[in-house]
């Protein structure tokens, strides 16, 4: 005789463990200690958030033309508004600013195909772009045949920040890769030279490097040679970043299994072809997130050029805060500067994480 067992229908879960209440219980009030922490955090938020929001948004003044318009008690965004173009372009002549805009637009349009995964011959296109665009950008920004020359002393604001950051990273990449290869070279002399170079730049603060480039570089060179102040800063930033890039790339080189080297050798490839065709393409792909992180650090470091008197974004804002007509609005200035840097850095760090996830899948089994 067989009996059939009928399962009783499941009871609904207790009301306290599902839905909003369940979530709250699990995530905020799971233990007395957690409850205490939650309450303390809420109290902290209650203390800080309303005044900050009131200051930045609700009590702020958004339009006007002078400091007398700012009487609401909150932030005075009029200050930012009235100086906005200077924060973006520095003293770049107003009638020529289309050239800066065009440079940025061309950069975006030109680089866009590189971000599509399905793009055919991406590699060829990328190299071509890297070879052509810098000249075009230099011609547009500085001038030359057909365009009025705009001295670099007139460059400033966000534009200068971007120029320093982009030139810095672009210049640092090839040098950094060579240094990384040198550091892993089998020739002791090359290794020693590269290690010394890398450790020297990584051991000193950028501020002293910039200072050296600004006041000492001309003493190192023959008298007739005079290098533009911006160019000197760019050289300093490039050498400095190259050392950091070298360490990032070294990480990638170390991650490539020995079998790859041996296989390449067995095929009869010489050193440069082995590196260029087998090892580096794999290693560089591995370290793209690391390179983006280095770029973020570099982007933040560009604010140090204030020390040598270049008018980048931060210095432009800093200068504006001591303008007698707008004295006392330094908080607005710093908040704005912080927001701009934050947007760029946060955006890039998200992109780097996205890349990390995307590139990671290839190695997971």
Partner 1 sequence: MHTPASSPPPRASMLNDPKVRGLVFQVLAIATVIAIGWYLFDNTQTNLAQRGITSGFDFLDRSAGFGILQALIPYTESDTYGRVFLVGLLNTLLVAVLGIVLATMIGFIVGIARLSPNWLISRLAAIYIEIFRNIPPLLQIFFWYFAVLRAMPPPRDSHAVGDAIFLNIRGLYLPSPSAADGFWAFVTALALAILACVVLARWAKARREATGQAFPLLAACIALLVVVPAAAIGLAGTPLHWSVPVLTGFNFRGGWVVIPELVALTVALSIYTAAFIAEIVRSGIQAVSHGQTEAARSLGLRPGPTLRLVILPQAMRVIIPPLTSQYLNLVKNSSLAAAIGYPDLVSVFAGTALNQTGQAIETIAITMSVYLAISLAISILMNIYNKRIALVER
Partner 2 sequence: MKPVRTAALSILAATTLGLSSHASAGTTLDAVMKKGYVQCGVSDGLPGFSFTDAQGNYKGIDVDVCRAVAAAVFGDASKVRFTPLTAKERFTALQSGEVDVLSRNTTWTSSRDSGMGLHFAGVTYYDGQGFLVNKKLGVKSAKELDGAAVCIQAGTTTELNLADYFRSSGMKYTPITYDKSDETIVALEAGRCDVLTSDQSQLYAQRIKLANPEDYVVLPEVISKEPLGPLVRQGDDEWFNIVRWTLFALLNAEEAGISSANVEKEAASSTNPDVRRLLGADGDYGKDLKVSKDWVVNMVKQVGNYGEMFERNVGMGSELKIARGQNALWNAGGLQYAPPVR
CA atoms within 13 A on the CB side of 160: 35
The residue whose two tokens read 């290869």 is 181
Interacting span for partner 2 (CB under 8 A) from 83-91, 105-113, 135-143, 254-262: 83-91
Longest dimension (CA), the chain: 111
Q: How many residues does the chain have?
A: 365
CA distance 29 to 20: 12
Taking CB within 5 to 8 Å according to partner kind, which of partner 2, partner 1, none is near residue 282?
none
Taking CB within 5 to 8 Å according to partner kind, which of partner 1, partner 2, none is near residue 34?
partner 1
The DSSP result for 80-102, as a single string, is: HHHHHHHHHHBT--GGGHHHHHH
Cβ nearer to partner 1, comparing 93 with 270: 270
Could you tell me the end-to-end alpha-carbon distance of the chain, in angstroms, rounded to an integer? 51
Instruction: State which of residues 49, 216, 263, 267 lies at the interface with partner 1 (CB under 8 A).
Output: 216
Instruction: State which of residues 119, 200, 255, 281 lies at the interface with partner 1 (CB under 8 A).
Output: 200
- CB of 180: closest distance to partner 1 in angstroms? 16
Short-list 324, 319, 276, CA closest to 160:
319
Any contact of residue 85 with partner 2 (CB under 8 A)? no
Short-list 85, 87, 105, CA closest to 95:
85
Any contact of residue 223 with partner 2 (CB under 8 A)? yes
Instruction: State which of residues 9, 146, 222, 268 lies at the interface with partner 1 (CB under 8 A).
Output: 222
Taking CB within 5 to 8 Å according to partner kind, which of partner 1, partner 2, none is near residue 303?
partner 1
Short-list 2, 118, 7, 87, CA closest to 316:
87
Q: Applying CB under 8 A, what is the total number of residues that bind partner 1?
A: 55
Interacting span for partner 2 (CB under 8 A) from 54-62, 198-206, 264-272, 291-299: 264-272
Phi and psi based region of residue 268 (left: phi greater than 0; alpha: psi -120 to 50; beta: remaining): left
Taking CB within 5 to 8 Å according to partner kind, which of partner 1, partner 2, none is near residue 30?
partner 1
Cβ nearer to partner 1, comparing 135 with 342: 342
CA distance 285 to 282: 5
Interacting span for partner 2 (CB under 8 A) from 8-16, 127-135, 275-283, 318-326: 318-326
Interacting span for partner 2 (CB under 8 A) from 29-37, 56-64, 207-215, 280-288: 207-215
CA distance 127 to 136: 15
Cα distances (Å, whole numbers) of residue 135 to 128, 132, 241, 324:
12, 6, 22, 40
Residue ranges that bind partner 1, judged by CB under 8 A: 26-28, 30, 34, 37-38, 41-42, 44-45, 186-190, 193, 199-200, 202-208, 211-212, 215-216, 219-223, 296, 300-304, 306-307, 314, 318, 330-331, 334, 337-338, 341-342, 345-346, 349
């Amino acid at each position: 005789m067989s009996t059939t067992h009928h399962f009783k229908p499941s009871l609904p879960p207790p009301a306290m463990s599902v839905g909003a209440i369940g979530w709250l219980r699990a995530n905020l009030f799971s233990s007395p200690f957690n409850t205490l922490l939650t309450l303390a955090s809420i109290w902290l938020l209650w203390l800080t958030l309303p005044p900050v929001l009131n200051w930045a948004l609700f009590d702020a003044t958004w339009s006007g033309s002078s400091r007398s318009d700012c009487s609401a008690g909150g932030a005075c965004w009029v200050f930012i508004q009235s100086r906005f173009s200077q924060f973006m372009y520095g003293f770049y002549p107003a009638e020529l600013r289309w050239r800066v805009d065009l440079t940025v637009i061309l950069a975006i349009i030109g680089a866009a195909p590189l971000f599509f995964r399905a793009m055919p011959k991406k590699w060829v296109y990328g190299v071509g772009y890297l070879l052509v665009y810098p000249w075009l950008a230099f011609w547009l920004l500085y001038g030359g045949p057909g365009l009025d020359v705009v001295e670099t002393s007139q460059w400033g604001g966000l534009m200068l920040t971007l120029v320093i950051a982009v030139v810095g990273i672009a210049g640092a990449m090839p040098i950094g890769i060579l240094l990384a290869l040198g550091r892993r070279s089998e020739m002791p002399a090359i290794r020693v030279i590269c290690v010394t170079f890398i450790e020297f730049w990584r051991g000193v603060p950028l501020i002293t490097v910039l200072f050296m480039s600004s006041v000492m570089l001309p003493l190192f060179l023959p008298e007739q040679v005079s290098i533009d102040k911006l160019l000197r800063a760019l050289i300093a930033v490039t050498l400095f970043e190259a050392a950091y890039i070298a360490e990032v790339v070294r990480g990638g080189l170390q991650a490539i299994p020995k079998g790859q080297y041996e296989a390449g050798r067995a095929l009869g490839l010489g050193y440069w072809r082995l590196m260029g065709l087998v090892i580096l393409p794999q290693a560089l792909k591995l370290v793209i997130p690391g390179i983006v992180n280095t770029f973020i650090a570099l982007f933040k470091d560009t604010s140090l050029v204030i020390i040598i008197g270049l008018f980048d974004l931060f210095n432009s804002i800093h200068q504006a805060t001591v303008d007698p007509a707008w004295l006392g609005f330094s908080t607005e200035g710093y908040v704005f500067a912080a927001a701009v840097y934050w947007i760029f850095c946060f955006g890039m760090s998200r992109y780097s994480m996205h890349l990390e996830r995307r590139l990671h899948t290839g190695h997971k089994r």
